[in-house]
């Protein structure tokens, strides 16, 4: 069973060390987005990389619309990978929606995590009268409709919005290719699950030490949202990065590595 899970989620284990760092990718991406950041920790940590079912080189035949109809399905992927490797007291580094998937996993199994590092987290993307998530309902509906009508145009639109750094256009181009490599039907459901999720009430249940890395300009998850997460997670540390865009682990790997190492050294 363990071997099947490791194959299902395309798990790779590298590095050396007594403690394990698990890197979890965000929507539309796969484990390769972590290659520069994760490599910097292989000398002192055991590093685990994986793809959620439906992403990257995971076994897409294992994808189920029922299981992955909420973030809890992806949470189960994370927990099952950790169980298959017999992990405990891990440092989880999650980007974007994986920050919330990690939060849910830490609530269900707090003994699993020693630290939780969130990169560009958002517990709720939709605006409400007393909360600014950054998107109106019509924005999300238009985004999902675009994915159905013309998936490639959606990828071409969202990649530069997410990446920023227009002076380095190759970054957005690479992200666009990554988006396009996904199965459009699976990606659309993952997008709907991500953008309709609401983890706000769960944040106060997170008890593991948490670092929130917030790019100073992020069109997907604003600093205002990052501050909200910080307020709700007791004892968390909030760091505004110099990095621009929603993907600092790609565009500014060096700063991302530095910020994580500073936190772990405290």
Query: Which amino acids are annotated catalytic?
Result: 96, 218, 246
3-state secondary structure of 121: coil
* Beta pairing, strands 12-15 & 46-49: antiparallel
As given in the structure block, the two tokens for residue 148 are 């159905």
Under DSSP, the state recorded for 124 is B
- Tell me whether residue 202 is exposed, middle or buried, using C-beta atoms within 10 angstroms of its C-beta: 0 to 12, 13 to 18, 19 or more: middle
* CA gap 200, 76 in Å, rounded: 19
The residue behind tokens 């190492």 is 261
- Tell me whether residue 147 is exposed, middle or buried, using C-beta atoms within 10 angstroms of its C-beta: 0 to 12, 13 to 18, 19 or more: buried
CA-to-CA separations, 222 to 33, 163, 244, 256, in angstroms, rounded: 21, 13, 11, 17
State the helix-helix crossing angle for 184-196 and 151-163, rounded to 10 degrees: 50
State the helix-helix crossing angle for 137-149 and 151-163, rounded to 10 degrees: 130
């Amino acid at each position: 069973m363990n071997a099947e899970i490791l194959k299902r989620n395309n798990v790779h284990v590298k590095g050396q060390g007594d403690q394990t760092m698990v890197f979890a990718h965000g929507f539309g991406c796969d484990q390769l987005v972590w290659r520069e950041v994760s490599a910097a920790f292989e000398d002192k940590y055991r590093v685990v990389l994986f793809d959620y079912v439906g992403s990257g080189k995971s076994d897409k035949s294992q994808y189920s619309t029922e299981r992955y109809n909420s973030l809890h399905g992806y949470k189960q992927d994370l927990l099952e990978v950790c169980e298959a490797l017999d992990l405990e007291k891990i440092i989880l580094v999650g980007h974007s929606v994986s920050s919330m998937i990690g939060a849910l996993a830490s609530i269900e199994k707090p003994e699993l995590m020693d630290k939780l590092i969130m990169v560009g987290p958002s517990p709720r993307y939709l605006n409400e009268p007393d909360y600014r998530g950054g998107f109106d309902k019509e924005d999300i509906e238009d985004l999902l409709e675009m994915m159905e009508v013309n998936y490639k145009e959606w990828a071409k639109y969202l990649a530069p919005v997410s990446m920023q750094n227009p002076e380095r256009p190759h970054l957005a181009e690479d992200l666009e290719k990554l988006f396009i490599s996904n199965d459009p039907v699976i990606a659309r459901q993952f997008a709907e699950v991500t953008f309709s999720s609401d983890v706000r009430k769960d944040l106060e249940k997170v008890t593991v030490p948490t670092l929130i890395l917030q790019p100073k300009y992020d069109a997907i998850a604003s600093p205002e949202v990052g501050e909200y997460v910080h307020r709700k997670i007791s004892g968390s540390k909030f760091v505004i990065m110099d990095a621009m865009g929603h993907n600092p682990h790609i565009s500014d790997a060096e700063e991302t590595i530095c910020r994580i190492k500073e936190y772990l050294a405290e």
